């Protein structure tokens, strides 16, 4: 999921479309604040590699106030005396402590620049602690418009969750706020008013009753994690445990519903989780976080792919809030949030895009994972119908790839159009076992890594033996889809691609009525259609699997 329009609902698509139409004429401009936030190449950020965070944060829920500190452990990548971390400017920065002494710092927008008393030498491991407090942004409509969400459950218990993808984790804790550098592990200590529980990522290490009437929950994540995935969920939670025997052995399953939803959770998670794990391990390889377990945590908001602690708010029902985003009926047979958000454990959490502009690596693959889940239970045709059906949600309003270096994601088309693109790639590769090897290979090759656009596309090119770069570029970097044009010229039946990308040459399945499909590889200049007897009256293009325009002159 992401900040705007990620998990598009029909309603949301309408809202987003209207908003974008209004903005349509204006060219987007970026500010110094956007660069400070979005740059992944700034020396003040690349000079240090985050190894570990320890968040120790107290939630005073009545006052919507938090306070605490975060320990940064890092390895110096270069010699440096100054670095940048990030903390929303509305939060008070109390002090930065290094070896028992306070460090001088300056703040600019949501960035903080700290100067050390001496050069930190390349290769050295070091640490500092940031003390802070304040009233973080209250989420207006989590998870899209995020921050901290304050609610009460039906019994009147306080119910609080964090959701900050896109917006950034620095909305509630000091951190190096970009996706390229993940902490290798993290300890998350959340103190909550007595009687409530906190459920965060990873495994619960310890619960401590504090003298001030608060209870501290220490959760440890032993595997690399994106900072936006780090979560606090505070409420009157119950706990259900189960296990799954998967590709890497025994995987612990822990469900944290509100106390009065235990029976519903047992039924809904019982019906969805193991079939989902079976499907995704088959297609993508082992669940990427056996060490930290698999968890679902009930939230007021719809859902979020928090690593080893997926936020769940789909009301224990099937579909996307009981709706089918594909219009085919296939989307009503399973719990969209369990399947989609868990799909992100492979694409998003295991493999993370370095720059937010490449959110398609998270969302296109995860959208596509929904059809593979369907295929694993109801067969390939059902999965293909689902992909085709999701075209309902495509806008072709702007490119799927956003703007690099300024924390700007692209079009919400990264969901359905991205899913359709990946299904076309499968159709072009025309070898389902090879395709499965590629999907598993991506998760193995880039295991627990952050990646670029080129790394993903090049890997698929190498493994498939096909140059699919023009296809990816057309669908991800341009807003228009390509059109296959047919024309009779000088007595010859010809075709070509009309596309934005130079050298666009996507292989496409074409047949004459009643015949068998053949792969043509048209180029952007007219060339004869090499199918015996093909004319403008009998030509048929596979527009079920190919999301393209067709023009027959
Ligand atoms: Zn998603």
Ligand 1 centroid from CA 339, angstroms: 10
Q: Residue 464 Cα, ligand 1 centroid: separation in angstroms?
A: 26
Q: Measuring CA to CA, which residue among 511, 470, 503, 496 is closest to residue 551?
A: 496
147 backbone φψ class: left, alpha, beta (φ>0; ψ -120 to 50)? left
CA 361 – CA 414 distance, rounded (Å)? 9
Classify burial at 381, counting beta carbons within 10 Å of its beta carbon; exposed 0-12, middle 13-18, buried 19 or more. Answer: exposed
Residues with CB under 5 A from ligand 1 (ion): 1, 363, 366
Q: Are 512 and 538 in contact (CB under 8 A)?
A: yes
For residue 415, how far is its CA from the centre of ligand 1 (angstroms)?
Answer: 8
Ligand 1 centroid, distance to 7 Cα (angstroms) = 6
Summarised one tens digit per residue, pLDDT across range 503-522 is 999 999 999 999 999 999 99
User: Within a 13 Å sphere around the CA of 177, how many CA atoms are in the beta-carbon half?
Assistant: 27
DSSP string, 484-518: EEEEEETTEEEEEEE-SSTT----EEEEETTS--E
- Residue 383 Cα to ligand 1 midpoint, Å, equals 18
CA of 198 to the centre of ligand 1 (A): 24
The candidate with the shortest Cα–Cα distance to 181, out of 85, 65, 104, 247, is 85
* Distance from the alpha carbon of residue 302 to the mean position of ligand 1, in angstroms: 11
Query: Is the CB of residue 38 less than 8 Å from the CB of residue 356?
Result: yes
Give every residue of the chain whose pLDDT is below 50, as ranges. 2-25
132 CA distance to ligand 1 centroid (A)?
31
Compute the distance from residue 340 Cα to the ligand 1 centre, in Å. Answer: 6
pTM passes above 0.85: yes
Q: Compute the distance from residue 15 Cα to the ligand 1 centre, in Å.
A: 18
Q: Is 349 exposed, middle or buried (0-12, 13-18, 19+ CB in 10 A)?
A: buried
Q: For residues 49 and 77, is the Cβ–Cβ distance under 8 A?
A: yes
For strand 249-256 and strand 240-246, is the pairing parallel, antiparallel, or unpaired? antiparallel
Measured in Å, residue 362 CA sits from the centre of ligand 1 at: 7
State the first-to-last Cα distance of the chain, in angstroms, to the nearest integer.
42
Distance 202 CA to ligand 1 centre (A): 20
Compute the distance from residue 8 Cα to the ligand 1 centre, in Å: 9
Packing angle of the helix pair 453-464, 432-445 (nearest 10 deg) = 140
pLDDT of residue 78: 98
Q: How far does the centroid of ligand 1 lie from the alpha carbon of residue 434, in Å?
A: 25
State how far the Cα of 300 lies from the Cα of 234, in Å rounded to an integer.
Answer: 11
Q: Ligand 1: distance of its center to the CA of 274 in Å?
A: 20
Helix, strand, or coil here: 376? helix
Using alpha carbons, select from 118, 53, 129, 56 the residue that is nearest to residue 93.
129
Ligand 1 centroid–CA 533 distance in Å is 46
Distance (angstroms) between ligand 1 centre and the Cα of 393 equals 15
| Residues with Cβ within 8 Å of residue 388, at least 6 apart in sequence | 326, 328, 420, 544, 545
| Alpha-carbon span 509 to 315, nearest angstrom | 42
DSSP letters spanning 394-441: ----S-SS-BTTTTB---GGGTHHHHHHHHHHHHHHT-HHHHHHHHHH
Question: What spacing in Å lies between the alpha carbon of 82 and ligand 1's midpoint?
Answer: 36
- 23: CB partners within 8 A, 6+ apart: none
């Amino acid at each position: 999921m992401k900040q705007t329009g990620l998990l598009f609902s029909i309603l949301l698509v309408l809202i987003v479309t209207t908003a974008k139409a209004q903005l349509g004429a204006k060219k987007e401009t970026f500010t110094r604040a956007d660069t400070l936030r979005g740059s992944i190449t700034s020396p003040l950020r690349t000079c240090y590699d985050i190894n570990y965070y320890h968040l120790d944060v107290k939630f005073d829920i009545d006052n919507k106030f938090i306070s605490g500190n975060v320990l940064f452990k890092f390895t110096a990548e270069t010699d440096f005396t100054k670095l940048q971390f990030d903390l929303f400017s509305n939060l008070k920065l109390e002090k930065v402590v290094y070896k028992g002494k306070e460090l001088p710092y300056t703040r600019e927008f949501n960035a903080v620049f700290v100067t050390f008393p001496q050069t930190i030498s390349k290769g050295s491991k070091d640490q500092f602690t940031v003390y802070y407090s304040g009233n973080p942004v209250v989420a207006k409509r989590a998870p899209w418009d995020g921050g901290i969400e304050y609610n009460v459950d039906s019994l009147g218990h306080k119910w609080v969750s964090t959701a900050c993808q896109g917006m950034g984790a620095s909305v509630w804790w000091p951190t190096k706020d970009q996706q390229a550098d993940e902490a290798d592990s993290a300890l998350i200590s959340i103190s909550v008013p007595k009687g409530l529980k906190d459920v965060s990522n990873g495994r619960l290490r310890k619960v401590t009753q504090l003298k001030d009437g608060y209870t501290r929950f220490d959760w440890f994540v032993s595997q690399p994690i994106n900072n936006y995935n780090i979560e606090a969920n505070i409420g009157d939670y119950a706990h259900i445990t189960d296990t799954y025997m998967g590709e890497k052995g025994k995987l612990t399953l822990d469900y944290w519903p509100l106390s009065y939803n235990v029976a519903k959770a047992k039924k809904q998670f019982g019906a969805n989780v193991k079939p989902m794990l079976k499907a995704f391990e088959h297609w993508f390889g082992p669940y990427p976080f056996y060490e930290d377990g698999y968890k679902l945590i009930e939230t007021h908001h719809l859902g979020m792919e928090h690593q080893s602690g997926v936020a769940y708010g789909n009301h224990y029902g099937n579909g996307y809030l009981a709706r089918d985003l594909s219009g085919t009926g296939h989307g009503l047979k399973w719990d969209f949030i369990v399947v989609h958000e868990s799909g992100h454990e492979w694409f998003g959490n295991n493999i993370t895009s370095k720059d937010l502009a490449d959110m398609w690596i998270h969302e296109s693959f995860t959208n596509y994972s929904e059809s593979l889940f369907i295929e694993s239970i109801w067969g390939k045709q059902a999965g293909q119908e689902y992909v085709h059906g999701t075209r309902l949600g495509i806008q072709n309003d702007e490119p799927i790839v956003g703007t690099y270096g300024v924390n700007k994601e692209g079009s919400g088309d990264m969901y359905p159009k991205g899913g359709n693109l990946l299904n076309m790639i499968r159709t072009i590769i025309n070898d389902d076992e090879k395709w499965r090897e590629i999907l598993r290979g991506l998760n193995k090759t880039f295991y627990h890594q952050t990646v670029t656009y080129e790394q993903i596309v090049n890997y698929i090119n190498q493994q498939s033996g096909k140059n699919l770069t023009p296809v990816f570029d057309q669908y991800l970097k341009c807003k228009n889809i390509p059109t296959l044009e047919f024309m009779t010229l000088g007595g010859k039946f010809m075709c070509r691609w009309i596309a934005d990308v130079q050298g666009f040459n996507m292989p496409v399945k074409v047949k004459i009525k009643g015949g068998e499909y053949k792969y043509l590889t048209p180029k952007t200049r007219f060339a004869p259609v090499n199918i015996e007897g093909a004319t403008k009256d009998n030509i048929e293009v596979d527009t079920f699997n190919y999301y393209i325009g067709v023009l027959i002159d």
